[in-house]
């Protein structure tokens, strides 16, 4: 859950993913993706009036623009789509412009990271929520200069949801979703009266899961009206959810009779929970799914980067500073531990930078200082074509 307050200190006048309080003084706005914890204030009269009366712009990806158009038609003239993986120049106020490049974040449909570059020489990456395979991070052209060298980055505003050695690695989403669909089909094909209850921790954020279920199990997921209204805003999800429980054996609705949807027989119910938290500290030797003594199934699934994926991003970009965007409001000790981890990462990458300057002639081994493969500073001369296997497709 994002706790970022919206202000990018290094670029006065812009706000990202927060639209209330002091953000109302900003003159250009950015939204990384349409999840409610990144949209605080966006629905308020004060923000929307400010956009309209001051003729200001909210910059988003094309999928997010489509969602916002359905959600808030009154501000659609102030919503502008940014192309993906292309640099756009955005006016912040009269004498101040900033270049911004949207990078696919692989978190949900339309989710992007923003790479901001100012003519004052700051370069800032705001990740929003992201999940990108470690090997894909080096594929984005916007991270390289004209000499094919990785551009120096001053600061990363980082999704730290799973930035902890407890979540060192997480299964690839495609593997998790294959497992989920297998568990669903094993049960639903056994008897047409069998039903699956998807017991999901968060209210939203299962776009890819529902899409994959529809593609593989050929059934929509029964959801309540509120969730239907949200998911059906996303153009590519039109058929993946339904409010008619009779139409499907898969349910993520409000479970009316105690724990069971009225369309399900509780004696013919398989409960499946999607979560990554249950696996903390685990190396997945016991698999990416399991069943407990009550017969409830669990599948490890994450739309946020694992610790290794977060570190791979840091290792590649070697920022001078990192801002933690996900703090736990009720866990001060956890937040201190997070700051210590982040400091360690910064020390590590800064040592690498220092070492690079000291030894200009010989290629050093990063392994000598205890971390993985040496990073290729130069981009391979290959066309990535923008094809990423990070988000399941
Ligand atoms: Zn999100
Ligand atoms: Zn139902």
pLDDT tens per residue across all 393 residues of the chain: 899 999 999 999 999 999 999 999 999 999 999 999 999 999 999 999 999 999 999 999 999 999 999 899 999 999 999 999 999 999 887 778 899 999 999 999 899 999 999 988 899 999 999 999 888 899 999 999 999 999 999 999 999 999 999 999 999 999 999 999 999 999 999 999 999 999 988 777 898 999 999 999 999 999 988 889 888 888 788 899 999 999 999 999 876 555 668 888 889 999 999 988 888 777 788 789 999 999 999 999 999 999 999 999 999 999 999 999 999 888 888 889 999 999 999 999 888 777 776 765 555 444 443 344 444 555 654 444 444 445 544
**Which ligand number lies closest to the CA of residue 305?**
1
State in Å: Cα 179 to ligand 1 middle: 22
75 vs 329: CA distance, rounded Å: 32
State in Å: Cα 303 to ligand 1 middle: 8
- Residue 234: predicted pLDDT: 86
**Which ligand number lies closest to the CA of residue 198?**
2
State in Å: Cα 190 to ligand 1 middle: 35
**Which ligand number lies closest to the CA of residue 131?**
1
Radius of gyration from C-alpha coordinates of the chain: 22
Query: Domains (ranges, CATH) in the chain?
Result: 14-167+306-369 (3.60.15.10), 173-300 (3.40.50.12650)
Q: For residue 154, what are the CA distances in angstroms to 195, 321, 346, 387? A: 51, 6, 11, 27
377 vs 150: CA distance, rounded Å: 6
- Residue 369: predicted pLDDT: 36
**Which ligand number lies closest to the CA of residue 105?**
1
State in Å: Cα 317 to ligand 1 middle: 23
Sign of CA dihedral 23, 29, 35, 38: negative
pTM: 0.88
State in Å: Cα 222 to ligand 2 middle: 5
State in Å: Cα 258 to ligand 2 middle: 12
- Residue 387: predicted pLDDT: 43
State in Å: Cα 327 to ligand 1 middle: 14
- Residue 258: predicted pLDDT: 58
Other Cβ atoms closer than 10 A to 278? 14
State in Å: Cα 290 to ligand 1 middle: 26
- Residue 359: predicted pLDDT: 66
State how beta strands 28-30 and 57-60 pair: parallel
State in Å: Cα 128 to ligand 1 middle: 8
**Which ligand number lies closest to the CA of residue 161?**
1
Q: For residue 82, what are the CA distances in angstroms to 57, 66, 101, 161? A: 11, 12, 8, 26
State in Å: Cα 318 to ligand 2 middle: 48
State in Å: Cα 265 to ligand 1 middle: 33
7 vs 17: CA distance, rounded Å: 9
- Residue 202: predicted pLDDT: 78
318 vs 150: CA distance, rounded Å: 9
- Residue 40: predicted pLDDT: 96
Q: At 134, list the tokens.
A: 């470690």
State in Å: Cα 108 to ligand 1 middle: 7
- Residue 259: predicted pLDDT: 64
**Which ligand number lies closest to the CA of residue 1?**
1
State how beta strands 112-118 and 123-126 pair: antiparallel
- Residue 360: predicted pLDDT: 54
State in Å: Cα 252 to ligand 2 middle: 6
State in Å: Cα 229 to ligand 2 middle: 16
């Amino acid at each position: 859950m994002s706790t970022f307050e919206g202000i990018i200190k290094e670029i006065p006048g812009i706000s990202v993913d927060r639209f209330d309080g002091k953000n109302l003084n900003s003159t250009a706005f950015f939204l990384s993706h349409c999840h409610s914890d990144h949209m605080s204030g966006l629905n308020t009269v004060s923000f929307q009036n400010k956009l309209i009366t001051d003729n200001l712009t909210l910059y988003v990806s094309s999928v997010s623009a489509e969602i916002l158009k359905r959600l808030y038609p009154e501000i659609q003239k102030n919503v502008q789509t940014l192309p993906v993986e292309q640099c756009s120049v955005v006016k912040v106020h009269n004498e101040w412009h900033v270049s911004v490049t949207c990078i696919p974040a692989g978190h949900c449909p339309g989710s992007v990271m923003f790479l901001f570059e100012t003519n004052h020489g700051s370069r800032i990456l705001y990740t929003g929520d992201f999940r990108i395979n470690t090997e894909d991070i080096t594929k984005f052209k916007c991270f390289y200069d004209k000499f094919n060298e990785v551009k120096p980055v001053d600061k990363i505003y980082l999704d730290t949801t799973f930035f902890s050695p407890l979540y060192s690695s997480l299964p690839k989403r495609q593997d998790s979703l294959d497992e989920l669909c297998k568990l669903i089909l094993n049960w639903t094909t056994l008897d047409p009266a069998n039903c699956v209850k998807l017991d999901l921790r968060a209210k939203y954020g299962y776009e890819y899961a529902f899409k994959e279920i529809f593609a593989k199990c050929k059934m929509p997921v029964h959801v309540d009206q509120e969730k239907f209204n949200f998911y059906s805003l996303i153009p590519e999800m039109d058929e993946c959810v339904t409010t008619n429980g009779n139409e499907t054996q898969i349910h993520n609705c409000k479970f009316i009779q105690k724990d069971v949807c009225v369309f399900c027989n509780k004696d013919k119910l398989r409960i499946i929970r999607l979560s990554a938290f249950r696996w903390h500290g685990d190396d997945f030797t016991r698999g990416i799914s399991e069943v407990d003594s009550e017969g409830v199934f669990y599948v490890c699934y994450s739309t946020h980067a694992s610790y290794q994926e977060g570190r791979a991003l840091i290792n590649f970009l070697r920022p001078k500073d990192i801002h933690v965007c996900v703090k736990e409001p009720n866990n001060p000790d956890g937040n201190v531990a997070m700051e210590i981890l982040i400091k360690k990462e910064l020390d590590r990458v800064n040592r690498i930078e220092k070492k690079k300057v000291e030894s200009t002639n010989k290629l050093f081994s990063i392994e000598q200082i205890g971390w993985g493969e040496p990073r290729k500073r130069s981009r391979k001369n290959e066309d990535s074509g923008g094809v990423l296997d990070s988000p399941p497709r």
